């Protein structure tokens, strides 16, 4: 089964994982494309709106139920 998961660079703690590119060149809003529980592809966007526009075409439920359903915490 294929699924999508909306993610944020900082919530995934990727800024701590990568030594050089701490903010992914400004592309901090992402989508993990999953098959079962495996990430099969990742796509990154500069804005949350840009990411959501793409995701809305793929999986409208995910847009309407994120961030609440996935536990997103906006970094202040």
With respect to residue 9, please indicate whether it lies within any of the assigned structural domains. yes
Instruction: Return per-residue pLDDT of the chain as tens, 76 residues.
Output: 457 889 999 999 999 999 898 999 999 999 998 888 889 889 999 999 999 888 777 766 555 555 444 444 444 3
DSSP 8-state class, residue 76: -
Q: Which domain holds residue 19?
A: 2-65
With respect to residue 75, please indicate whether it lies within any of the assigned structural domains. no
With respect to residue 72, please indicate whether it lies within any of the assigned structural domains. no
Separation of alpha carbons 23 and 1, rounded Å: 31
With respect to residue 71, please indicate whether it lies within any of the assigned structural domains. no
Q: How many domains does the chain have?
A: 1
With respect to residue 41, please indicate whether it lies within any of the assigned structural domains. yes
Dihedral sign for Cα atoms in the order 64, 43, 9, 29: negative
> On the CB side of 14, how many CA atoms lie within 13 Å of its CA?
16
With respect to residue 52, please indicate whether it lies within any of the assigned structural domains. yes
């Amino acid at each position: 089964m294929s699924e999508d998961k909306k993610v944020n660079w900082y919530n995934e703690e990727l800024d701590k994982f990568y030594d050089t590119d701490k903010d992914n060149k400004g592309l901090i809003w992402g989508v993990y494309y999953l098959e079962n529980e495996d990430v099969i592809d990742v796509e990154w966007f500069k804005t949350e709106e840009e990411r959501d526009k793409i995701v809305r075409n793929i999986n409208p439920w995910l847009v309407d139920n994120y961030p609440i359903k996935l536990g997103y915490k906006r970094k202040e």
